[in-house]
Structure 1
Amino acid sequence: MVISLRTAGLAAVLAALFHPAAHAVQDCELNGQSVNPANGNTTVGKTGLMRCKDRGSGELMREQQIQNGVFMGLVRHYDKGRLVKEHSLNANGNMQGRAREFSPTGGVLREATYENGHETGLTRSFHPGGQVRRIAFYAEPGERASAEFTERGQLSALRCGDKPMLAPAVDDVRLCGFVNGPSQVELFDSKGILRSRLAYAAGKRVRSEDLYDNGKPSLQDEINGNLRTERRWSSEGVKRREVVFLLVERGAIKQREQDFSERGTLVRDQRWNAAGEAQSDESYYLNGQPRSKARYGTAGDARQLEITEFHDNGQRAALGRFLLVDRVRRVPIGTHQRFDDKGTLMAESVYDDKGRVTRERTWDADGKPERDDEMFEDGSRKAN
């Protein structure tokens, strides 16, 4: 349906006016007669090329085709007399066909194809010097694949589609691993420094590695079967963290998380089951001895946790069980014990199933009883 300037098409026409120099006052003429593009009465029924100039300088700012009073066809925008942008509009006022943007020297900066206002097919962007900057492929619902390049011509970013889409501008058959197994891709920054290594298989990224300035890995992300592993390193090349996820239909479930010291020794190791429930949590001293060990389990319908703490010489320091009320709250139950660094029992507290202490006992360094108190529900001691 053809939309005239007297209808909603006016909004689309006015939108075309907003380019870098749109704030300047313009005088427009069509076939030698003065017209006002914001006033449909001045262009109704007319056909030709409208030309608009800056009132102050007289420089050409815009050219636009009108067909029988409708802004339809070629549109060109100028800056200081130089062409900076051109495209075409359809009868609905939407961009249709080829669109290009230009540098001050006349080189093409961007070229794309539109279908009723939507980018479609290959879109190319260029550096000011003419080198390819970005290649992208568009199809509903939007961008599907892309590749970016530095002025040196080195690949700097890559997004693969579910099938090859960037040919003949980019060989994404090879880069995205659609043939001959997983691909090996390197990404560079504007200075020519290697920043990332990627691997794709059938368009899906299966491995990525980001690098520090010194070339050592900083972050690694790898998929192997239904497991995804993330690893992080310090700039000195020491691994500081490793996290493993189980890939499921709706996302990923954490299975294991390890933290390492600045020297690379393991300081914490957490594990979860396939349902995402915590299974264990272990921590370690820098000398390698265990600091604590937590084990999760189920008793009836209740989740429980047993925690063992250690001295840095490896001797047990404390032992106790807890009832897990929710993700935050835990209630002590059963017998809790504390030991000295020689492994000698020093104190013991007994809790009921509601977390209330019912008995407390202590011993001296020689193992002789010091105190044995039974407790009321409010924590006060019973008389001996």
Structure 2
Amino acid sequence: MRKRTPACGVPVWQDIGRAVVMIGLASGLQIAHAASAAPICDVNGAVMNPTDKVAVQGRTGVMRCRDAVTGQVVREQDLQSGRFTGAVRYFTNGHLSREQFVNEKGNLQGRSREFAAGGQLLREGNYENGALNGLTRNFHPDGRLQRASFYGPAGELAYAEFTRRGDLRSLKCADRPVLAPAVDDARLCGFAPRPSQVSFVAESGALRARATFVAGSRVRYETFQDNGLPATQEETSANGRIERIFGADGTRRREVVWALVDGASQRDREMEFSSSGRLTRERRWSQGELSSEQTYYLNGQPRSKARYTSSGSVRTLETQDYYENGMLAAQGSYVDTGRYAPTPVGIHRQFDMQGRPKAESVYDTRGRLLRERSWDPAGVVLRDDEVLEDGSRRGPGPAAR
């Protein structure tokens, strides 16, 4: 289309818009829709393609981009000596939806705000060369604070979130108060003379969690089930932390103790409990490795015991199994090879409920079975076999009997 001067008093976007409509009528609805999707931009009334570096070069003013069909402004952007620096504004259906500033590198710099269709502020923050910096606030549609957060060079340092009713929903504290004046995190995060205790509420109004903060550190945290009973608990101290998990009836079912070693958390002890709250399993660790494990009957008697010991690169497991009456049922030794099944070594014994020997198996250091014996309750030998390398057995001769 040949370039021409628009009629007097007719805006540039309208004159070109008519041309676009004519093309659409001639070429079909699909072409017209594609053309209307591309905004028409001008600077001081002169049409300009913002992606054309030659056309932009040396220009100064405010670039306005309009919808080719409706004529509504969709963007305004400052142009200074051929560079897009300064304010940028975006519009939706004629209403300001976002306002921000960019530097000469094209990165966000300074204040940024977003608005709802009715003009209500939804979000505001500050940028430093493209990265969020300082206090950022988000709002519910009714204007109440929804989220306040603080950003530093390392990213988000602290935040507080609120429900539509204004109840605290979640909180992360920094090592100092940073959310004022939006949020009094000096009080919420326990920077006052005494620790703070805060409750976290869901949008429905139901209590979901409680926490205790001391000088910005969360030292206790517990969550709740829909029935109001505890779901989880976490307690933190200078030496480590404790985690607990509860059943639907509020009974403690699992507890894990973590120790703080050289600044890193290491599992120290783990316990499991029955639905009645009785201890059923306890595991302990030493220097990051499992050192022992015990299980229990519901009457409190030990069910099994396992203990790991190390000698150089060899890790050995000693096991004992018990009857419910407390009598030893079996014992044996294994070499922990790091596989699913450890290798049996040495003498493995079994006993009856009165503590009398029932059976005995002997293994070499490679886990090969060498000998098997068994006795009746009176102590009479029922079996005494030597196991050969090919798996065949050789019992004692008549003299040995």
Match 1:57 to one of 70, 79, 87: 70
CA offsets, 1:177-203, max 9 Å, x none? 223243212111111211111112221
Q: Which residue of structure 1 lines up, in the alignment, with residue 223 of structure 2? A: 210
State how far apart, in whole Å, the 2-side matches of 1:251 and 1:327 are.
27
State how far apart, in whole Å, the 1-side matches of 2:366 and 2:60 are.
88
Flag as ranges the 4+ runs of structure 1 deviating above 6 A: none
CA offsets, 1:73-126, max 9 Å, x none? 111101111111011112221112111000111100001112222221111110
Matched, 1:42 2:55: yes
Match 1:71 to one of 84, 92, 107: 84
State how far apart, in whole Å, the 1-side matches of 2:184 and 2:368 are.
69
Does the 8 A contact of 2:384 with 2:395 survive in 1?
no
- Number of matched pairs: 361
What's the offset of the Cα at 1:335?
1.4
TM-score, scaled relative to structure 1: 0.89
Cα distance 1:206–1:378, how it changes in 2: closer, same or farther (>3 A)? farther
Matched, 1:307 2:313: no
**1:192-211 pair list within 5 angstroms:** 192-211=205-224
Q: Which residue of structure 1 lines up, in the alignment, with residue 352 of structure 2? A: 340
Q: Which residue of structure 2 lines up, in the alignment, with residue 108 of structure 1? A: 121
- SS for the counterpart of 1:42 is helix
Matched, 1:261 2:293: no
Identical positions, percent: 49
Cα distance 1:301–1:86, how it changes in 2: closer, same or farther (>3 A)? closer
Does the 8 A contact of 1:323 with 1:331 survive in 2?
yes
**1:164-183 pair list within 5 angstroms:** 164-183=177-196
Q: Which residue of structure 2 lines up, in the alignment, with residue 276 of structure 1? A: 288
State how far apart, in whole Å, the 2-side matches of 1:229 and 1:135 are.
30
- SS for the counterpart of 2:292 is strand
State how far apart, in whole Å, the 1-side matches of 2:118 and 2:275 are.
53
State how far apart, in whole Å, the 1-side matches of 2:175 and 2:101 are.
31
Relative to total residues, which structure has the larger helix share, 1 or 2?
Answer: 2
Cα distance 1:381–1:324, how it changes in 2: closer, same or farther (>3 A)? same
Cα distance 1:200–1:272, how it changes in 2: closer, same or farther (>3 A)? same
Match 1:89 to one of 92, 99, 102: 102
User: Mind listing any 5+ residue stretches in structure 2 that lack a counterpart?
Assistant: 1-35, 397-401
What's the offset of the Cα at 1:329?
4.7
State how far apart, in whole Å, the 2-side matches of 1:297 and 1:142 are.
45
Matched, 1:296 2:308: yes
CA offsets, 1:331-354, max 9 Å, x none? 212211112233332111112222
Q: Which residue of structure 1 lines up, in the alignment, with residue 132 of structure 2? A: 119
State how far apart, in whole Å, the 2-side matches of 1:253 and 1:192 are.
37
Q: Which has the higher contact order (CA 8 A, sep 6+)?
A: 1
Q: Which residue of structure 2 lines up, in the alignment, with residue 11 of structure 1? A: none
What's the offset of the Cα at 1:204?
1.6
Matched, 1:322 2:371: no
State how far apart, in whole Å, the 1-side matches of 2:227 and 2:37 are.
50
Larger gyration radius, structure 1 or structure 2: 2
Cα distance 1:328–1:198, how it changes in 2: closer, same or farther (>3 A)? same
- More deviation, 116-125/98-107: 116-125
